[in-house]
Amino acid sequence: MAIHLPCGIELPQFFFDGPTDMEHVRKFAMRAETLGFDSLWLQERIIGDFTMLEPVTLLSYVAAITAKIKLGTSVILLPLRNPLQLAKAYSTLDVMSGGRAIMGVGLGGGHLGSHEDVFGYTRAGRVTRFSEAVQIIKLLWTEPRASFHGRYWNFDNVAMEPKPVRKPHLPIIFGGHHENALRRAVKYADGWMGAGSSSSASFIRESARIHDLLAEAKRDPATFHFAKRVYLAVDNDEARAERRIREWFGGRYKNAELGPKVSIWGSIAKCTEQIQAIVEAGAQQIVFNPMFDEAEHLEICAKEIMSHL
């Protein structure tokens, strides 16, 4: 099957009802690789009242049962993470997987808040912590011995091994929607992914703005990757699909009304057409994010949608 555009898919990570089904995760990951998906993706939410598996740990498991599919996060909540420990975890994942890791990072705090106080941080200074963390991670991945002097971290001559397999380092992509977030992406990142919880219209608008910022920064747009995660519900019964989207968003984001505003749902033809509009707006990669009937969506996305993109 010819795949015209690299397409990833969200790995099962949420278990709202019943126990965590690792057999489902295993079969999904292996089938996604067989079907020719480019990558598997996970999100992060550390605290919450529903089961959501931790992404780096889960990707390490998936690395052992797959051979070539890339393994990404969209996104790690970087202000809640220690950058030295995170750099070590990701470089380990990259080595274990033979160079397949992709680190997506964001500020967090969108629809559910990020609860810095629970982690011993203050919300003030979170952007500075984020920017410093990205710089530290890059240094640890590329320098034999790294030194850094900032507002939150200060150290000299620190070595960290192993380095990531890919050089100069594994890809770092950013999320975010604010003008300042887009500017940070252009300054520090290898790419940007429009969130699943944002609309197609937002992606079109924000990716156009990034192109302007790349030009301002005199940065070659060929060095920057654009992607969009898409909450997807393929169902000829649109009323049923919308009802299930609302239910899922009520559990995941505590905001049922958000679901219909940002998701794509309906027939295969309708979903394909709407996703193709995102591609035409400049998306170089689509990450499908089915909310339910995950195994069925895996097959539909591979056989009916992504070959048309």
Question: DSSP letters along 19-66, please?
Answer: S--HHHHHHHHHHHHHHT-SEEEE---SS-SSEE--HHHHHHHHHHH-
Model pLDDT, residue 112: 60
Half-sphere exposure of 81 (CA within 13 A, CB side): 31
Residue the block writes with tokens 């057999």: 23
Q: How far apart are CA 52 and CA 20, in angstroms?
A: 9
Q: What is the pLDDT along the chain (309 residues), one digit of tens a residue?
A: 444 799 999 999 999 988 999 999 999 999 999 999 999 999 999 998 899 999 999 999 999 999 999 999 999 999 999 999 999 999 999 999 999 999 999 998 765 666 888 999 888 899 999 999 999 999 999 999 999 999 999 999 999 999 999 999 999 999 999 999 999 999 999 999 999 999 999 999 999 999 999 999 999 999 999 999 999 999 999 999 999 999 999 999 999 999 999 999 999 999 999 999 999 999 999 999 999 999 999 999 999 999 899
pLDDT score for 261: 96
Neighbouring CB atoms inside 10 A of 95's CB total: 16
Are 132 and 119 contacting, i.e. CB atoms less than 8 angstroms apart?
Answer: no
Instruction: Return d(Cα 177, Cα 188) in angstroms, integer.
Output: 15
The pTM score is 0.96
Q: Tell me, what's the pLDDT at 108?
A: 84
Q: Which residue has the tokens 């992406």?
A: 185
Burial-class residue 170 by CB neighbours within 10 Å (0-12, 13-18, 19+): buried
pLDDT value, residue 113: 64
Helix (H) / strand (E) element for 146: namely strand 146-149
Domains along the sequence of the chain with CATH = 7-113+170-308 (3.20.20.30)
Res 1: pLDDT: 44
